[in-house]
């Protein structure tokens, strides 16, 4: 079973920090250093994995948090745990050291993946195509360094709200062929 929480968010642009903020949010909310990961994956073992389907988009898109549940009966507990992490962020309960570590990991991780000329070409074309500027990859990496805990809080309060939330639940068919 899968759970997807998604919010309508703005398009990526080199002129705003929206894409960089969402990149940091993915790891902050569901990455291996997050309280949600520690609780849901490691301690309680309610989910096989949590993460996000987020990638930068030229047009407004969805910022998502995803969970692969170990058992359907844990759906509500997982949904509430993820929403609690979002509300903690909106309330300003932010670990600045974790934000800095995530920024560094995102930036240096992206650079470390550039092993061949092909890798470089793919990344340059990807970001130029989405953000519309030939230097978009470099500017995105620069934008990652500009993200502050306060900006994460502001973005969360503006975009990760109940009126923008879409909840999707995917449940496998039962042995009899119907759905639960």
Q: What is the pLDDT of residues 4-48, one digit of tens each?
A: 999 999 999 999 999 999 999 999 999 999 999 999 999 999 999
Q: pLDDT tens digits, residue range 81-98?
A: 999 999 999 999 999 999
pLDDT bucket at 174, cuts 50 / 70 / 90: confident
Phi then psi dihedrals of residue 80, to 5 deg: -65, -35
pLDDT over 60 at 1, yes or no = yes
pLDDT of the residue at 173: 81
- Report DSSP state, residue 102: H
Q: What is the mean pLDDT of residues 107-126?
A: 97
String of DSSP letters for the chain? -EEEEEEEEPPP-TTSSHHHHHHHHHHHHHSTTSHHIIIIIIIS--EEEEE------SS-EEEEEEEEESSGGGHHHHHHHHHHHHHHHHTT---HHHHHHHHHHHHHHHHHT--SHHHHHHHHHHHHHHHSSTTHHHHHHHHHHH--HHHHHHHHHHHSSGGGEEEEEE-PBPTTSSB-
State the alpha helices, DSSP H only, in 113-135.
Answer: 117-131
pLDDT over 70 at 69, yes or no = yes
pLDDT bucket at 178, cuts 50 / 70 / 90: low
Helix axes 18-30, 75-90, angle to 10 degrees: 130
Which domains are delineated in the chain?
2-170 (3.30.830.10)
């Amino acid at each position: 079973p899968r759970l997807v929480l998604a919010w309508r968010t703005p398009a990526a642009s080199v002129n705003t920090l929206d894409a960089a903020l969402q990149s940091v949010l993915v790891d902050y909310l569901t990455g291996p250093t997050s309280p949600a990961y520690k609780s849901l994956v490691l301690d309680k073992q309610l989910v096989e994995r949590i993460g996000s389907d987020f990638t930068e988009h030229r047009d407004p898109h969805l910022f998502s948090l995803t969970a692969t549940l170990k058992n359907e009966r844990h759906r509500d507990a997982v949904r509430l745990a993820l929403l609690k992490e979002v509300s903690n962020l909106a309330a300003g309960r932010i670990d600045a050291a974790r934000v800095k570590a995530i920024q560094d990991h995102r930036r240096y991780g992206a650079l470390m993946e550039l092993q061949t000329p092909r890798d470089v070409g793919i990344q340059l074309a990807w970001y130029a195509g989405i953000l519309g500027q030939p230097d978009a990859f470099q500017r995105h990496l620069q934008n990652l360094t500009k993200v502050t805990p306060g900006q994460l809080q502001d973005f969360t309060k503006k975009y990760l709200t109940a009126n923008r939330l879409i909840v999707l639940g995917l449940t496998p068919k039962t042995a009899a062929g119907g759905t639960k």
